[in-house]
Amino acid sequence: MGKSPLDIERHHYALTETVGNRFAGYPSRSIEMRGNSAVDLALWDLFGKAMGQPIWRLLGGLCREKIRIYNTCASADYNRVARDGANTKTVEHGGAAKRDFTIYEDLEAQMGAPEDLALSLLEEGVKGMKIWPFDVFAMQSGGHHISLEDLRTGVSVIERIRKAVGDKMDIMMEYHALWRLPQICQIARALDDFDVYWHEDPVPMHRFDDLERFKQSTTGRVTGSENLGTKTWYIEAFERGAIDVAHFDLCWIGGLTEGRKIAAIAEAYERPIAPHDCVGPVTLAASTHLVCSARNGLIQETVRAFTRGYYRDIATELPLIEDGFITPTSTPGMGLDLVPGFTKRADATVRRSAV
């Protein structure tokens, strides 16, 4: 309190090194790191508003006016309900009758109607989709076993997408770090013929030896990590040649200050960045500013069930998403504020801290 909010680097060091690291444990996707991230992002927003400039301008300007997106195939209540069995629902394929995706129940469609899901996204100009058809099997065995029958069930999802849309859709495979090395290698081998865009968080991401061995065993690109991802983690991962794409969440690693350093480290190793967002409108806004200003920006994650749903209940403005691309806002700071009266909603819980 009483210090300049524009001294962002000083505050970042104090939160993540002096306090956040030495007293609250080592960097991880912890509640401490999320709190530090919130403070850091708020400081960048204040900085932009004080300068009258959007964040991308303060990061050195745009390397591109817009960047390609992919859709993470979650549902409107994803991350807000118990996860067990969340993607075990199946529905009969509609055949000639086209499914209605206006409610964006993309999580259910992953397993039940993946071909219709892919066609729906292509109609919007979105040419990338992230799915996780193997998660339910990892949960059943603790990641130690997958039967041939279950393996074929998971692979059939990708087969159906390829049969419906051919090579028009990039398929990102998400594993949520649930698998052990032998089993994830088995899954990746089964997917070799489908040219998936990447394998994301294939093993517990603190196990660098397993991650490195997985990378050596697969022909596909490996990306990580939404689970771990400070600059220290990335230096180790890049040095080992264990990952190909830096996929971090700005709300889980220490904020934009940490994120831009990771982007610079990735560039030094000639690796691209693809920021994560399955979290909230502030994450999406900050990530878009960063990925469009970074020379090594590759692609931005989005969730249409969120960007057309509760994100708009919270934020006054979002980055423009159109025809498979996202464009950062040009208003000062992050470019968004809380919707007026949001804290007075009947379903809002508000807590305040005072000194």
pLDDT at 87 over 60: no
Give the lowest-confidence range in 53-67, 88-102, 118-132, 164-178.
Answer: 88-102
Place 82 in a pLDDT band, splitting at 50, 70 and 90: very low
Of the two residues 76 and 177, the one the predictor is more confident about is 177
Distances (CA, A) of 336 to 20, 66, 261, 306: 27, 18, 24, 16
Which DSSP state fits 338? B
Does pTM top 0.85 for this prediction?
A: yes
CA dist 194 and 297 (Å) reads 25
Q: 271 with 321: CB under 8 angstroms?
A: no
Partners of 246 in the β-ladder: 224, 273
Q: Cis peptide before 225, with omega less than 30 degrees from 0?
A: yes
Q: How many residues does the chain have?
A: 355
pLDDT digits (tens, 9 = 90+) for 265-318: 999 999 999 999 999 999 999 999 999 999 999 999 999 999 999 999 999 999
- Please name the residue that has the structure tokens 């979650």: 74
Average the pLDDT over 205-209 and give the result.
Answer: 95
% of the chain exceeding 70 in pLDDT: 90
pLDDT digits (tens, 9 = 90+) for 11-46: 998 887 776 555 544 556 678 888 899 999 999 999
Place 349 in a pLDDT band, splitting at 50, 70 and 90: very high
pLDDT digits (tens, 9 = 90+) for 42-61: 999 999 999 999 999 999 99
Beta strand 67-72 with 325-327 is antiparallel
pLDDT at 157 over 80: yes
pLDDT at 88 over 80: no
